[in-house]
């Protein structure tokens, strides 16, 4: 696990300036809840304003010459009202914001998932599940934090600074002078520190994502590491990551530690300056509006009040810019257009003819890679069964993938029932097809649930009935809990072969019109396979079928065998003719015969 290889996780550490375009997109996804969040800021301002008003009350109190004799009622009443308004509006804003962002998250998650489900295989070839899961957890989390806390805190901070300045101006405009000195100083210091801190934090996040990536991969491959006795070496590698994180973490928090007190120190210097200035003002009595001790008290309170938000602004700004980078990645996927989509004139109605035609088909997986198929022509008649044979990497699976429209051809056309495959509704196409792949991925759930994936309305009896027909009933029944055994990633350990059986039966249960079996029985023992082959042969009588197999016994009964190689069809015919030809197919078969001696 070298260092550069984990680059795909580096983008966790990216930041991006706050852009109105992205904000607009986020708000759009949030729908009505965006309005609630924005609207709730009115309460926030009420809350903040009352905070400042409470300070004004204290100022009046201090300046009051008759405080010894005045009735307490007006003071208590005023203070009480202000505090009540403050708390009610504060609580309203707080709760409405997080409840709305929770709702907004729900719709964003749904939107994200739906967009992902529409994307083609080409997308999934490039983006592996680990990367996508990081988007759904890390990026979503940082957007949620942004919506609930960062946005709120930025508003609060700006609000406090704004209202305080306004209040200071009201008390005595000349008092603004030391503030105006103070604020640029604070921002300047912030920017200077920030420069070093951002680079430091970037390094830290980078190191952290590398460490997490290493940890994830180590867990995924832990069995291999144990089998190859790499545990000690892995620990050493992790130690390196861990140490780097330790050093960077220490540096970052020290830098942070240097920053915060320094800000406060500058703030206190401002205060000292203000006190001297205030004393001078009181002493000189030259201003049009004399400064009272109460004014000075309010002044001190307001300045101390302003120091905190400046700190918050900086903190939440960095949170926002990493949230922006997250949002960008999320919307990149949401806005992505799959190249495989239904055209406007897609057809959902079919006649009963299920022929397949490939016409002058060229295909390559990537511009940089060589052509896999070159000018391939192939017609499969309805209810015909064909087999594709050839060496690993010859392009058999590619042909199957093109017919399944997992990819679009680079050149040429594919017709099903004489309709261009691009004009067929994708969903209908896949519903009519059974594509069984070598790696039978099972979803978490019982065997029953997995077999029922294509048609959840099937009853247990119907499922068992079909399973008997396929000859798999005994095998499923013999699982620890029979058909109720939990399988899939988080379920019982079942063998590779059993997994293939489930995925095969799962696909065929809806009586498809086109059947594509790509090495679907490679891990199944020969006896079970022969029973299956009988069942499959029965099905294939009324189905257009394509078989890809390395074991030739499974393809002996097909109508036509095609030997694929060099980007096209090298030889075709039925078993007997091909054997007589003594060409490519004969050679392949001979390898088997050789094995039998």
Site for another protein in 429-458 (CB under 8 A): 429-431, 433, 435, 437-444, 453-454, 456
Positions 239 through 258 that interact with another protein (CB under 8 A): 239, 242-243, 245-246, 249-250, 253-254, 256-258
Based on the shown chain and the rule CB under 8 A, indicate whether residue 10 belongs to the binding site for another protein: no
Kindly state the smallest distance separating residue 396's Cβ from another protein, in Å: 10
Dist. CA 18–CA 569, nearest whole Å: 55
Kindly state the smallest distance separating residue 37's Cβ from another protein, in Å: 14
Smaller CB distance to another protein: residue 186 or 501? Answer: 501
Which token pair is 298? 């309010």
Residue 500: Cβ-neighbour burial (10 angstroms; 0-12, 13-18, 19+): buried
Based on the shown chain and the rule CB under 8 A, indicate whether residue 286 belongs to the binding site for another protein: no
Choose which of 11, 203, 264, 328 interacts with another protein (CB under 8 A).
264
Choose which of 207, 327, 458, 475 interacts with another protein (CB under 8 A).
475
Kindly state the smallest distance separating residue 108's Cβ from another protein, in Å: 10
Smaller CB distance to another protein: residue 427 or 582? Answer: 427
Based on the shown chain and the rule CB under 8 A, indicate whether residue 21 belongs to the binding site for another protein: no
Place of tokens 């101390």: 304
Stretch that binds another protein, among 16-24, 107-115, 169-177, 563-571 (CB under 8 A): 107-115
Dist. CA 461–CA 468, nearest whole Å: 10
Q: What is the 3-state secondary structure (H, E, C) of 181-219?
A: HHHHHHHHHHHHHHHHHHHHHHHHHHHHHHHHHHHHHHH
Kindly state the smallest distance separating residue 25's Cβ from another protein, in Å: 19
Based on the shown chain and the rule CB under 8 A, indicate whether residue 276 belongs to the binding site for another protein: yes
Based on the shown chain and the rule CB under 8 A, indicate whether residue 317 belongs to the binding site for another protein: no
Smaller CB distance to another protein: residue 335 or 597? Answer: 597
**H/E element holding 420?**
strand 419-420
Positions 401 through 420 that interact with another protein (CB under 8 A): 404, 406
The DSSP output letter for 554 is G
CB 355 within 8 A of CB 418: yes
Based on the shown chain and the rule CB under 8 A, indicate whether residue 584 belongs to the binding site for another protein: no
Total residues belonging to the chain:
597
Based on the shown chain and the rule CB under 8 A, indicate whether residue 98 belongs to the binding site for another protein: yes
Measure the CA angle with vertex 93, ends 92 and 97; round to 5°: 115
Choose which of 137, 287, 360, 538 interacts with another protein (CB under 8 A).
137
Based on the shown chain and the rule CB under 8 A, indicate whether residue 235 belongs to the binding site for another protein: yes
Choose which of 23, 60, 61, 419 interacts with another protein (CB under 8 A).
61
Smaller CB distance to another protein: residue 177 or 231? Answer: 231
Dist. CA 149–CA 131, nearest whole Å: 26
Based on the shown chain and the rule CB under 8 A, indicate whether residue 265 belongs to the binding site for another protein: yes
Site string for another protein, 146-185 (x = CB under 8 A): ----------------------------------------
**Max Cα–Cα distance, the chain, nearest Å:** 122
Q: Is 470 helix (H, G, I), strand (E, B) or coil?
A: helix
Smaller CB distance to another protein: residue 359 or 454? Answer: 454
Measure the CA angle with vertex 78, ends 76 and 83; round to 5°: 90
Dist. CA 56–CA 299, nearest whole Å: 10
Stretch that binds another protein, among 319-327, 379-387, 461-469, 516-524 (CB under 8 A): 516-524
DSSP letters for 326-348: HHHHHHHHHTPPPSS---TT-B-
Number of amino acids touching another protein (CB under 8 A): 171
List the alpha helices (DSSP H) in 119-175: 121-126, 129-134, 140-145, 151-171
Stretch that binds another protein, among 271-279, 348-356, 376-384, 459-467 (CB under 8 A): 271-279
Kindly state the smallest distance separating residue 450's Cβ from another protein, in Å: 10
Choose which of 16, 25, 121, 196 interacts with another protein (CB under 8 A).
121
Smaller CB distance to another protein: residue 114 or 377? Answer: 114
Based on the shown chain and the rule CB under 8 A, indicate whether residue 87 belongs to the binding site for another protein: yes
Q: How many CA atoms lie within 13 A of 537 on its CB side?
A: 13
Choose which of 519, 543, 555, 558 interacts with another protein (CB under 8 A).
519
Q: Which residues lie across from 560 on neighbouring strands?
A: 386
Based on the shown chain and the rule CB under 8 A, indicate whether residue 106 belongs to the binding site for another protein: yes
Between helix 496-508 and helix 526-540 the angle, nearest 10°, is: 10
Kindly state the smallest distance separating residue 20's Cβ from another protein, in Å: 28
Dist. CA 546–CA 558, nearest whole Å: 9
Q: Which residues lie across from 430 on neighbouring strands?
A: none
CA dihedral 370, 376, 382, 387 (to 10 degrees): -60
């Amino acid at each position: 696990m070298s260092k550069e290889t984990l680059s795909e996780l580096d983008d966790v550490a990216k930041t991006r300036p706050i852009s109105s375009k992205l904000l607009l997109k986020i708000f759009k996804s949030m729908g009505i809840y965006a309005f609630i969040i924005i609207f709730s800021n009115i309460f926030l301002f009420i809350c903040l304003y009352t905070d400042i008003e409470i300070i004004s009350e204290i100022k009046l109190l201090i300046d009051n010459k008759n405080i010894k004799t005045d009735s307490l009622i007006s003071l208590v009443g005023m203070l009480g009202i202000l505090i009540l308004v403050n708390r009610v509006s504060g609580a309203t804003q707080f709760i409405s914001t997080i409840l709305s962002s929770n709702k907004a998250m729900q719709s964003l998650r749904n939107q994200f998932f739906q967009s992902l489900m529409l994307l083609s295989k080409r997308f999934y070839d490039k983006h592996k599940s680990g990367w996508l899961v990081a988007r759904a957890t890390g990026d979503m989390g940082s957007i949620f934090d942004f919506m609930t806390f960062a946005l709120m805190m930025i508003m609060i901070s700006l609000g406090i600074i704004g209202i305080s300045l306004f209040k200071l101006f009201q008390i005595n405009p000349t008092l603004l002078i030391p503030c105006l000195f103070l604020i640029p100083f604070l921002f300047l210091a912030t920017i200077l520190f920030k420069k070093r801190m951002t680079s430091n934090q970037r390094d830290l996040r980078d190191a952290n994502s590398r460490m997490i990536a290493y940890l994830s991969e180590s867990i995924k491959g832990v069995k291999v590491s144990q089998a190859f006795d790499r545990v000690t070496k892995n620990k050493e590698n992790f130690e390196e990551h861990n140490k780097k994180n330790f050093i960077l973490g220490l540096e970052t928090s020290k830098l942070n530690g240097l920053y915060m007190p320094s800000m406060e120190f500058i703030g206190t210097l401002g205060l000292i300056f203000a006190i001297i200035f205030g004393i001078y003002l009181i002493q000189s009595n030259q201003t049009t509006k004399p400064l009272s001790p109460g004014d000075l008290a309010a002044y001190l309170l307001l300045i101390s009040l302003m120091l905190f938000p400046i700190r918050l602004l900086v903190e939440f700004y960095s949170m926002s810019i990493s949230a922006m980078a997250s949002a960008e990645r999320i919307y990149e996927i949401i806005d992505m257009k799959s190249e495989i989509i239904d055209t406007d004139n897609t057809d959902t109605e079919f006649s009963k003819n299920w022929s397949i035609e490939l016409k002058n088909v060229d295909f390559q997986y990537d511009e940089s890679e060589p052509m896999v198929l070159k000018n391939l022509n192939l017609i499969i008649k309805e209810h015909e069964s064909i087999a594709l044979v050839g060496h690993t990497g010859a392009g058999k699976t590619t042909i199957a993938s093109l017919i399944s429209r997992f990819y679009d051809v680079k050149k040429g056309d594919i017709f099903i029932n004489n309709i261009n495959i691009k004009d067929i509704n994708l969903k209908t196409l896949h519903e009519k097809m059974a594509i069984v792949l070598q790696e039978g991925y099972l979803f978490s759930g019982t065997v029953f649930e997995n077999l029922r994936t294509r048609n959840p309305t099937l009853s247990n009896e119907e499922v068992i009935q079909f399973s008997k027909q396929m000859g798999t009933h005994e095998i499923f029944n013999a699982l620890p809990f029979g058909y109720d055994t939990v399988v899939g990633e988080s379920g019982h350990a079942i063998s590779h072969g059993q997994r293939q059986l489930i995925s095969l039966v799962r696909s065929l249960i809806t009586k498809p019109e086109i059947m594509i079996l790509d090495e679907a029985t490679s891990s199944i023992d020969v006896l079970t396979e022969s029973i299956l082959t009988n069942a499959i042969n029965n099905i294939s009588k009324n189905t257009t079928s394509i078989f890809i197999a390395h074991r030739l016994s499974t393809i002996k009964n097909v109508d036509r065998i095609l030997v694929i190689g060099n980007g096209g069809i090298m030889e075709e015919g039925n078993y007997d003719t091909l054997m007589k030809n003594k060409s490519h197919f004969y050679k392949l078969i001979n390898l088997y015969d050789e094995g039998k001696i």
